[in-house]
A and B are shown apart, each in its own frame.
Chain A
Amino acid sequence: MSVLAQQLVLGLLIGGLYGLAAAGLSLVFGVMKVLDVAHGELIMLGGYMAFFVVALVGLDPFVSLLVVIPLSLLLGLALYWGLFGFVVRADEETRVKNSLLIGFGLALALHALAVLLWTADERSIITPYGGTVLSVGDLSIPVVRLVSLGVAFALIGGLHLLLARWRWGKAIRATAEDWQAALLTGIDVRRAYLLAFAIGTGLAGAAGTLVTVGYSVSPSIGLEWTLKALIVVVLAGLGSMIGTFVGGLLLGVAEAASAAAFGGPYREVVGLVIFVIVLVVRPRGLFGR
Chain B
Amino acid sequence: MLEIRDLDAAYGDIRVLTGVTLSVGPGEIVALLGPNGAGKSTLLNSIAGLLRPRAGAVRFEGEDLGRLHAHLIVDRGVALVPEGRRLFGGMSVEDNLELGAFAARARPTRAAGFERVYALFPDLRDRRRQLVRALSGGQQQMVAVGRALMTNPKLLMLDEPSLGIAPRLVRSIMESLAEINRGGVAVFLVEQNVQAALGLAHRAYVLESGRIALQGGAAELLSDPHVRRAYLGPLAVRP
Asked if B90 and A183 sit within 8 Å, CB to CB, the answer is no
Interface residues of A (CB under 8 A from B): 167, 170-171, 173-174, 177-178, 180-189, 239, 289
Known A184-B48, A184-B82, A186-B106; judge A174-B74 contact (CB<8 A).
Answer: no
Give the size category of B's interface with A: 20 to 34
Q: Which 9 A-B pairs have the closest CB atoms?
A: A186-B103, A186-B74, A181-B86, A183-B70, A186-B102, A185-B99, A177-B88, A188-B71, A186-B71
Instruction: Report the bound CA distance from A178 to B103 in whole Å.
Output: 17
Flag if B88 contacts A174 (CB, 8 Å). Answer: yes
The one of B80, B89, B91, B95 in contact with A184, judged by C-beta atoms closer than 8 angstroms, is B80
Contacting pair A185 B74 (CB below 8 A): yes
CA distance A187 to B86 in the complex (A): 14
Partner of A170, one of B91, B104, B147, B150: B91
Would you call A185 and B151 a contact (CB within 8 A)? yes
The 15 sampled A-B contact pairs (Cβ below 8 Å) are A170-B98, A171-B102, A178-B86, A180-B86, A181-B86, A181-B87, A182-B99, A183-B50, A183-B70, A184-B82, A184-B148, A185-B74, A185-B147, A186-B104, A188-B69
**Residues of the B chain whose Cβ atoms lie less than 8 Å from the Cβ of A187:** 71, 99, 102
Contact A184 B74 (CB under 8 A): yes
- Say yes or no: B50 contacts A180, CB within 8 Å: yes
> In the complex, A181→B83 CA distance in Å?
10
Task: Tell me, in angstroms, the Cα distance from A184 to B102 when the chains sit together.
Answer: 10
How far is A184 from B144 in the complex, measured between Cα atoms in Å? Answer: 11
Consensus secondary structure, chain A interface: helix
Q: B9 to nearest A CB, angstroms?
A: 16
Q: Which B residues are within 8 Å of any A CB, using their own CB?
A: 48-50, 69-71, 74-75, 79-80, 82, 86-91, 95, 98-100, 102-104, 106, 147-148, 150-151
Cβ contact within 8 Å between A289 and B90: yes
In angstroms, Cα B223 to Cα A81, docked, is: 58
Check B87–A185 contact: CB distance below 8 A: no
Candidates B71, B80, B86; contact of A189 at CB < 8 Å: B71
CB <8 Å contact, B100 and A185: yes
State the Cβ distance, B106 to closest chain A Cβ, in Å. 7
Closest CB-CB distance, B210 to chain A, in whole Å? 22
* Nearest Cβ on chain B to A234's Cβ, whole angstroms: 19
A178 CB to closest chain B CB (Å) equals 6
Residues of B near A170 (CB, < 8 A) are 91, 95, 98-99
Q: Which residue of B lies closest to A240 (CB)?
A: B90
In Å, the complex CA distance between A182 and B103 comes to 11
A171 CA / B99 CA spacing, docked (Å): 7
CA distance A189 to B48 in the complex (A): 15
Tell me the smallest distance from the CB of A87 to a CB of chain B, in Å: 18
Closest to B91 in A: A173
Q: A181 contacts which chain B residues (CB < 8 A)? A: 82, 86-88
